[in-house]
Amino acid sequence: MNPNADKIEYLLRLADSALIQGQRLCEWCGHAPALEEELALMNVGLDLVGQARNWYEYAAELLNDSRDADHLAFRRDERAFRNLLLVEQPNGDFAVTMTRQFLYDAWHFHVLDALSASRDERIAAIAAKAFKEVTYHLRRSGQWVQRLGDGTEESHARMLAAIPQVWRFTVELCNSDDIEQRLSAEGIAPNPEELAAAWKAKVADIFAAATLPLPEPAVNFYLSGRRGVHTEHLGILLAEMQFLQRAYPDATW
């Protein structure tokens, strides 16, 4: 067994979540409500894809089995992906996308903040660079939640409809497993309890400013991105995202 198994698993969780969220945002290309917003969504998506590559490259080095970052992104099957269930959910309308983005950003921000002080110097360096980008992501998505929630009657109604579509998947943002507990004890990953508390506080603050009701905490159910048990949406997303690499392995431009 690889002595870095826990760390590899954790790196894949970070990478997969960033990659899938970035892919979802890039699906807005040509469909965003305004040109400026389309550019902003693409930039955030590309930030996340870049972050995913950094995590994948480190995971590939630790795996040391000839797989590289591209292989990990484009040649693993659905059950091998470890992304959060939240990020694989469809875009829906703009309110759904921004609700999903904010809930992810609020978690991602605190994860990277903690990882910047990781005892693993490589993880700390990657996280510190990504943290600068995600600070902007969170500010932007939080402002959109407030603007839509405390905006017009129509935008408020759309936010009220959007929250239930993604809220149940936030259960993964507030719980942990043995891998994360062990890495936390080693000083490599964040303290799960502190991370959950910080995420809840941020969400509560923004929802209050947006005049949106805060739902009851999400409860566990049989699906789990950590275990590779995903919703029906991930397979469809991967079929599109991985098609070229699978159809023409190792193709170069």
Tens digit of pLDDT for each residue in 203-228?
999 999 999 999 999 999 999 999 99
SS3 36: helix
Evaluate whether residue 252 is within a structural domain: no
Rg (CA), the chain: 18
Evaluate whether residue 11 is within a structural domain: yes
Evaluate whether residue 65 is within a structural domain: yes
pTM, two decimals, is: 0.96
Evaluate whether residue 37 is within a structural domain: yes
Q: What is the span of the domain harbouring residue 208? A: 5-247
- Number of folded domains that form the chain: 1
Res. 35: pLDDT tops 80 = no
DSSP class of residue 52 equals H
The candidate with the shortest Cα–Cα distance to 42, out of 31, 54, 53, is 31
Question: CB-based burial of residue 251 (10 Å sphere; 0-12 exposed, 13-18 middle, 19+ buried)?
Answer: exposed
Over residues 51-95, the pLDDT tens digits come to 999 999 999 999 999 999 999 999 999 999 999 999 999 999 999
Q: Which residues pair with 229 in a beta bridge?
A: 224
The candidate with the shortest Cα–Cα distance to 21, out of 95, 107, 101, is 101
Give the number of C-alpha atoms closer than 13 A to the C-alpha of residue 40, restricted to the C-beta side.
Answer: 15
Evaluate whether residue 179 is within a structural domain: yes
The predicted structure's pLDDT at residue 213 = 98
Judge whether 220 and 175 are in contact, CB under 8 Å.
yes
Evaluate whether residue 220 is within a structural domain: yes
- CATH number for the domain spanning 226: value is 1.20.1260.10
